[in-house]
Structure 1
Amino acid sequence: MKIAIGNDHAGTEYKLAIVGLLKSMSIEFNNYGTDGTDSVDYPDFVHPVASDVEGNHVDLGIIICGSGNGASMTANKHQKVRAALCWNKEIVSLARQHNDANILSLPARFISLPQALEMVRTFLGTDFEGGRHERRVEKIPCS
């Protein structure tokens, strides 16, 4: 498995912890996020993640900003991207099972770091169910 990860200044602490988790799980990753806390523009770090997912260069993506909204909106402008803004592991599970979400958007200012790590584990460990959900996902336009 290979992951692309990106974050703005609000998500640096979370990204660094998630990178540690990915390393402990022996998961390869492309790190497009900032490592600093100086204000930056989230699209600069989200577009490369979405491009990796869109181009099938990675299996999944993780994006992090303060609210998760801007990052999610940016990622969802890319074809073949289904970024899900999630705030607990149950929503993450449903986003993967029912919506085949391929990017997890985390709201760093609204969830704890332990929650974020649990959500990432859920995201990586949950598969798309297909079946009745597949026809619904197919109705999401790709452009």
Structure 2
Amino acid sequence: MKPRIYISNDHTGVEMKQAIVKYLTSLDYQVTDLGNVDGKSCSYASKGLELGEKIAGDKDCLGVALCGTGIGISIAANKVKGVRAGLVSELETAQLIREHNDCNVIAMGARMIAVDKALKLVDAFLKSEFAHGRHEERVKTINEYHG
């Protein structure tokens, strides 16, 4: 069964988000849009935290986070316990954040990459799985940190 996908964006990611939602729904993913829809200025921090809360509350889901650079929204999402958001801009990284880091959120910069590339990155992320093995202890260390 395909995981539910939560997607969120600030005002800079509306166009990219719309393309990703269209792409994912064409592949029969259930997509819940938490993002900005009108392009009016909004807080990437609030959008990232909201996404993080949804991801933390639904262990069988994945997330997509978009802001101008992808940095701010990923930092915000990562503040929520249980979220592992990775910022990507190339295919190998999109794959490795799942395989090595068991990331449950892919973050991208709407001002940094083209929409067609974003679709390829999301695809690589979704087709990859956690490799376990030597990576398990590292992810466990991150998950158990309470600092």
Per the shorter chain, which TM-score range?
over 0.9
Identity percentage of aligned residues = 38
After superposition, residues 1-143 of structure 1 pair within 5 angstroms as 1-56=3-58, 58-140=60-142, 141-143=144-146
Q: What is the TM-score of this pair, normalised by structure 1? A: 0.95
- Bigger shift: residues 49-58 or 61-70: 49-58
SS of the equivalent of 2:100 reads helix
Deviation string 1:72-123 (CA, Å, 9 cap, x unpaired) is: 1100100011000111111110111000010011111111111100001111
- Bigger shift: residues 28-37 or 38-47: 38-47
Cα distance between partner residues in 1 of 2:109 and 2:128: 20
Cα distance between partner residues in 2 of 1:32 and 1:15: 10
Would the aligned equivalents of 1:79 and 1:142 in 2 still touch at CA under 8 Å?
no
Q: What is the TM-score of this pair, normalised by structure 2? A: 0.93
Deviation string 1:23-72 (CA, Å, 9 cap, x unpaired) is: 10110011100112221111222222111111126510000000111001
Letter in 1 for 2:108: L
Cα distance between partner residues in 2 of 1:15 and 1:124: 16
Cα distance between partner residues in 1 of 2:126 and 2:10: 22
The Cα shift of 1:125 comes to: 0.9
Over aligned residue pairs, what C-alpha RMSD do you find? Answer: 1.2
Structure 1 segments (4+ residues) deviating >2 Å: none
Cα distance between partner residues in 2 of 1:142 and 1:2: 26
